[in-house]
Amino acid sequence: MNRIPGSTAFSKDILAHAVNYQMQFSPLVLTPDTYIVPEHKNKVKQLNQTLIQKPINGMKGKGIKIGTVDEIDLNMTSVVQIYENTLLYNKHKFDLRYYVLITSVDPLICYYYQNGDVRVAKKLYTESNFSDPQIHLTNGFINNMNEDANYKTDSGDFGSFNTSTLFKQMESNPRIFGQHNINTTQLKLKIEEAITKTLISVYPELVHFSKPVRLHRFPKTMFQIFGFDLFITPHLDVKLFEVNSNPGFYQVNNIHPNFNGNEVVSDALQLIGVRINVNESSINIPVLNSKDGNYQKETYTKEEDLELIDYTSATIFEKKCVQQIMDEETRIGGFTRIKFENYLNEFRDGTVLTNTVYKIVQQGLPIINE
């Protein structure tokens, strides 16, 4: 799949720094307490909780260690988190993978796929035996190594399914989650908020690592799908484990047979403007060009005029950015646009263009014929 410039910002260590810094400004606790090793080695030595250690460049669950500070490797370049209790599904650990599509870095334009992937650990959960990854990790490469299309947990439940099924089970039978009642409407809002605030947290780093690339060319041809790995706490809060910049949809379909990653990819391509006719195997790419070519002169509204800005008073360049949002929303499919216009005060270092575009969006998207 395609990649956006600056995706390095989502690596485990840079993301951890960004989220830790953002949580100084936001009341929402986005992640478990997180440390970078060896940078925070001395702090980690003082911890007496159970820890989970992940190599910075690790994937497929490889190299993960769970245990006390004496049982992890403080010399390995890694991220170390407090190993928190999670909500259980029929006494098994589970987490959520939500797919986030970024179609523009500046202004920041993002969507998340409403139907995420639920991943269930194979073995019954116990607060011990940390050496057995099939108890404590939900990664399909660990729990479904044989790529079994009928993969199930030791309790006979499917080891993967989509979040729409999860929410239905929460509503009809909350006891399998150890709860008397679960408000799924509230839970969905918390999931969206966790995704939104993670993106806001890492945005300054995303822009920083994107600087060598010209970001304001139309049509926008750079996009990327990320996997946001979340978990639900026993108190029904939502936190982030990590972000995967290479979700690997072919492999996801094999190891999580009850989740259709093809739908995510298909809807993402449609949203960005790649028309796919499966029957005819044809692809048509529409353009969102300015009338005088691919590059639009970058002119901005004066700062003193921003408070009263709307679409009609915006510059042609700013209008073009708003039009991208409008154009993509006509093909939104199973995605939901992340409404940054509701969070402008939480950007600790947003760009002028992101701020301007979402001030315009706050006034309502116009109906235009251009």
pLDDT digits (tens, 9 = 90+) for 158-182: 888 999 999 999 999 999 999 999 9
Looking from the CA of 221 toward its CB, the CA atoms found within 13 Å total 11
Q: What is this structure's pTM?
A: 0.91
The whole-number pLDDT of residue 310 equals 86
How far CA 246 is from CA of 10, 214, 269, 324, 333, in Å, comes to: 11, 23, 16, 25, 22
Q: Which two tokens stand for residue 330?
A: 């006509």
Residues 73-96: what's their mean pLDDT? 95
With a pLDDT cut of 90, the percent of the chain lying above it is 59
The whole-number pLDDT of residue 52 equals 95
| Residues 231-275 pLDDT 10s | 999 999 999 999 998 887 655 555 555 566 788 988 999 999 876
Nearby residues of 303 by Cβ (< 8 Å), 6 or more positions away: none
Looking from the CA of 369 toward its CB, the CA atoms found within 13 Å total 0
The whole-number pLDDT of residue 195 equals 97
The whole-number pLDDT of residue 254 equals 55
Residues 81-105: what's their mean pLDDT? 95
